[in-house]
Amino acid sequence: MTRSVEHDKSTDPGDPSQSGPNKVLSYPRRFGHYEILKELGRGGMATVYLANDTRLERKIALKVPHKTVAADPEYIHASRTVRDGLVLHAFYKVSRPALEKQWTTMSDVMRRQMPLEAYIARTQREWEGVLDLAARALPYMDKTFGKYPYRQYSFIQGGDGGMEYPMATLLKGAGEGVVIHEWMHCWYQMMMGTNESLHAWMDEGFTSYGEARVANFLDGGQDPNPHLPAFQSYMRLARSEHNEPLTTHSDQYASNYAYSTNAYSKGEVFLEQLGYIVGADVRDRILLAYYDRWRFKHPTPADFIRVAEELSGLQLDWYRTFFVNTNKTIDYAIDSLWEEKGRMRIRLRNAGTMPMPVDLELRFKDGSRETAYIPQYLMFGTKANEEPSVKRTVGTPWKWTHPTYTIEIERRLTDLKSLEIDPRQRTADMERRNNRLELNW
């Protein structure tokens, strides 16, 4: 949402020249280019971030509420109209002296890894390409997460790492991951306005999920599961003594390790795993419905689950209560195989503490492939076949109270070559070795 900006003529530091319909103001005499980023409350003080990483609190002559402002007289200002009514901006400085100065502030280890010339070349390449990157990503972000609704967005060099603001980000470097991550926060924080202290996973986690998908799109979309690093990160925490539930208040975690892993990684896993439960296409429709219904309305976890239930036709409160409210973990295993009356029987075991539906992939000696699917009883329904061209055997629901389950497949056991639970690794299955069985008859 854009706001009009008034300025106080009596203390005006210069003639603000407004660039087009955007809220990018120029006060060359005092601050160079700077941008109104965020209202912090009524008053005359502003937080001014300079590109050399310093931060000033100072009075600025604007009769507006508190603002976060980025300013540096040396900023290069690039902008691009990417569609009707949307201009992307970049504010950065990549002159040799500026980059030499930045490089000297880096740690010895960083400087050894990234010699000065390489640092200069990379930083120039990244900042000069940031609007290209953003323009390539935007159509995919619009389509996948809902249309970016504002008239501008700004990538601003400064600050530490990356920090999100409405319609802007402060970035130390302009690498693909951080650029996309901070921009994704416009969806999962700025538009949604979830309570980040209470539900950090709906903010950083959903943002990280978006980041991984957009990055995969930008890289050609070849990675079948760009979320695997998040799964590995979450499962490392789950195996450790530091694990805490996602319901923990951000300020009340015993360790920053548990906070950050839960907020970023387990939150990302939550959405990818939801795709396993309801089907990836349905999960994508859920994300768009969530955007339509809940942006600007401060949704809670229950609001998200309710949208997911409506779109999928499945009960999903159990997914929230197990995966969000507790430390319980997933581990499904292949238990045993045999044949009765010419048909294969497969017994599976729930070796974990959290119930899930089960996707099973069967490969046969003749090169053919089938799947089997066992709905979780708590879902009160089944997901559609995600691969309609592949034959799928659907079992009766598996009650979460039962440790084992046997499914019958209409093939001879001796035809079987391999068997795997969740072959695309979309669940945080803690012990993968018992998911797969290779038969060397």
Q: Minimum distance from CB of 170 to Zn ion (Å)? A: 12
* Residues in region 304-343 near Zn ion by CB under 5 A: none
By Cβ distance, which residue is nearest to Zn ion? 204
Compute how many other C-beta atoms are within 10 angstroms of the C-beta atom of residue 441: 8
* Closest among 201, 183, 202 to 192, alpha carbons compared: 202
Adjacency order of strands within the sheet including 404-409: 332-340, 343-350, 404-409
* Closest among 287, 67, 27 to 165, alpha carbons compared: 67
What are the strands, taking DSSP E only, across 263-415? Answer: 332-340, 343-350, 358-364, 369-374, 392-394, 404-409
Q: Minimum distance from CB of 181 to Zn ion (Å)? A: 5
Torsion angles phi and psi, residue 411, rounded to 5: -145, 160
Judged by CB, which is closer to Zn ion: 204, or 331?
204
Q: Which residue has the tokens 């201009």?
A: 87
As given in the structure block, the two tokens for residue 190 are 């700025």
Q: Minimum distance from CB of 178 to Zn ion (Å)? A: 9
- Contacts with 321 (C-beta within 8 Å, 6 or more apart), sequence order: none
3-state secondary structure of 416: strand
Judged by CB, which is closer to Zn ion: 207, or 233?
207
Q: Minimum distance from CB of 53 to Zn ion (Å)? A: 19
Size of the site for Zn ion (CB under 5 A): 2
Judged by CB, which is closer to Zn ion: 204, or 359?
204
Q: Minimum distance from CB of 19 to Zn ion (Å)? A: 28
Judged by CB, which is closer to Zn ion: 93, or 185?
185
Judged by CB, which is closer to Zn ion: 102, or 207?
207
Query: 224: buried, middle or exposed (CB in 10 Å: 19+, 13-18, 0-12)?
Result: exposed
Q: Minimum distance from CB of 263 to Zn ion (Å)? A: 8
Half-sphere exposure of 37 (CA within 13 A, CB side): 21
* Residues in region 176-215 near Zn ion by CB under 5 A: 204, 207
Judged by CB, which is closer to Zn ion: 60, or 137?
137
x/- site string to Zn ion, residues 140 to 179, per CB under 5 A? ----------------------------------------
For residue 337, what are the CA distances in angstroms to 228, 423, 437?
29, 18, 10
Judged by CB, which is closer to Zn ion: 152, or 169?
169
Q: Minimum distance from CB of 304 to Zn ion (Å)? A: 18
Distance CA 28, CA 25 (A): 9
Q: Minimum distance from CB of 91 to Zn ion (Å)? A: 20
Adjacency order of strands within the sheet including 32-41: 17-18, 24-27, 32-41, 66-72, 45-49, 55-59
Residues belonging to the chain: 441
Q: Which residue has the tokens 């996973």?
A: 201
Judged by CB, which is closer to Zn ion: 304, or 373?
304
Judged by CB, which is closer to Zn ion: 268, or 420?
268
Positions in the binding site for Zn ion (CB under 5 A): 204, 207
